[in-house]
Amino acid sequence: MFALNALLFDVPWLLGHRTDLIEKFDGIMMPLLFLGHLLARHYIYWIVDQESIFEYRLWKRKIIPLSNILRVSGSQYWNGRPTHLRIDYCRPDAPSTHGKLGANPADVYGFLNALRWSAPFAAIDV
């Protein structure tokens, strides 16, 4: 969708056709949003240590203590294997008491084994 919009709004402007200011703005922003979307999908990773799960998305970092994890379940499957995991956890310091984290690591079973070893009290439904 982003690529189509970027193509539709950039081509007339780059060819020298008269365009409005909003079309120029959209012609600049759509390729930037498309690039950001691509980068965000490829630069996401998770680290499980003995105390927490760390989720890194570009420059953002989320830390979830393993003691707060309630449940880990598979939400998408391919050939009987989970490809996407849903991690439900409690947030005692936030207005809403529950949160969820989506994870799709390259090695799903290695990630699940690390969670089983580090958080044996969490319900893992995969």
**Mean predicted lDDT score pLDDT of the chain:** 79
Tell me the helices (H) and strands (E) count for the chain, helix number first.
3, 7
What pLDDT, in 10s, does the model give residues 55-92? 988 888 999 998 889 899 887 777 777 778 899 998 77
CB of 101 closer than 8 Å to CB of 55: yes
Domains of the chain are 2-41 (no CATH), 45-124 (2.30.29.30)
**Sheet (strand 60-65) strand order:** 44-48, 52-57, 60-65
| pTM (2 d.p.) | 0.63
Question: For helices 2-14 and 21-42, what crossing angle results, to 10°?
Answer: 140
Give the per-residue pLDDT at 54: 92
